[in-house]
Amino acid sequence: MENNQNMQKEARAKRSYAWLAWLGTALIVAGLVSFLIWQPRIAKTMAANYPTTKEVVYQPPADLNENALASLPEYTSPATQPALIREPATHTEADADLRTQPVEYVVQEGDTPWQIVERFYADLISKPADVFRYLYAVYNNNPFLQDNSQNLKPGQTLLLPPVPGVWYKWTRNDTVQSVSEKFSPYMWDPTVPEGFHVNPEDIINFIGNDIDPKDPKIDPGTFIMVPGGAKPLVVVSFASATSASGMKRSPFDGPGACEFNQVAFGTGSFIYPSATHFISGGYFMPGHWGVDFGSGLGSAVFAADSGVVSYAGWLNGGYGNLVVIDHGNGYSTLYEHLSSYNVRCGQMVNQGEMVGGAGSTGNSTGPHLHFEIQSGSGHIDPLSVLP
């Protein structure tokens, strides 16, 4: 009898163990199934928050202008360019001797003016604000860049002055005083760091100029270093033009241009154009008139404010697939290097509406969103107006 009772107890215990085992299995299966369901969403969020640098094959948009593409300059391998390449030096003492003459540098694949400056002038840069000075030097001494980082192409030979300033060919009517004034530009923009002012003594005392301080005579045709000098940079305007018919015209000529009516207007405040707020590359600076958000390939790009699309399509000159929105209040926003765009020129968009996917088309070294805000007079730093 007792034996029988024990057996019944044992059987009951076995049954409850089996039941618990089944419950455990069911929970594990449920967990796996829900992970499978959520996995693409998790992957998507991770992609949006994580800049990818893997190489992507460029898919030309369906409406790509073949002729425009064919007119791109042929790529010449930097290896075949006969020019001196100066390796970035990190020793200040060694550079004290080297920094008397300019050096030629051949632009490599993936270079940006910011990176070139940071490498080449590593020994002279002590704080981030210094970089502006050197960027000015890069643009001022290489006019073919037209003060725009988008014009930087592999194979180009850049003249990098020994110190920030202008490498200048002396002419007959020049005096040390007049040249000092010529390269002390007016304060044209709040982003220009102070101190672009040349003292005549700086020209005379610069060792590389080899001028006798007692008899400061410079022969016409001689190249002279103007330390601290700068020329004002040109800002390209992206304002839409108004045509005779009263319609507005796209700020760019290209397959994404149109005539449009300003049927929608901005709220006057901007939101982030991407879920990612992290800056992956360039900040707003001379020659780079926007900010680079570390948006993953294909991640959503949103209209920073309401308005009308004033350009949507491919644009030569490094932009890649470009969307421009005219907010009708004096501001336009630009979204560059897109992998895709799902608006057309002339279409009205609401703030926060998706206009395309981030990408790496045009002159870009990896997926990101290059975002610019243009006002009537020039560009403004997007980070100064974003929440």
Q: Which residues bind Zn ion (CB under 5 A)?
A: 282, 292, 370
Tally: H helices and E strands in the chain:
7, 17
By C-beta, is 167 or 371 nearer to Zn ion? 371
Q: How far is the CB of 287 from Zn ion (least distance, A)?
A: 10
By C-beta, is 184 or 191 nearer to Zn ion? 191
Q: How far is the CB of 322 from Zn ion (least distance, A)?
A: 12
Place of tokens 């990101």: 368
Could you give the CA distance from residue 60 to residue 172 in angstroms, rounded to a whole number? 53
Q: How far is the CB of 142 from Zn ion (least distance, A)?
A: 19
Which among 338, 330, 329, 326 has a CA at the least distance from the CA of 371?
338
DSSP 166-194: EEEE--TT--HHHHHHHTS-----TTSPS
Residue number with the shortest CB distance to Zn ion?
A: 370
Strand partners, 313: 322
By C-beta, is 133 or 370 nearer to Zn ion? 370
Q: How far is the CB of 220 from Zn ion (least distance, A)?
A: 41
By C-beta, is 228 or 282 nearer to Zn ion? 282
The first and second tokens of residue 241, run together, are 């033009």
Q: How far is the CB of 281 from Zn ion (least distance, A)?
A: 6
Could you give the CA distance from residue 136 to residue 29 in angstroms, rounded to a whole number? 61
Q: How far is the CB of 283 from Zn ion (least distance, A)?
A: 9
By C-beta, is 370 or 379 nearer to Zn ion? 370
> Which parts of 162-304 fold into alpha helices (H)?
176-182, 200-205
Per-residue 3-state assignment (H helix, E strand, C coil) for 223-251:
EEEEECCCCCCCCCCCCCEECCCCCEECC
User: Which residue type occupies 228?
Assistant: G
By C-beta, is 147 or 292 nearer to Zn ion? 292
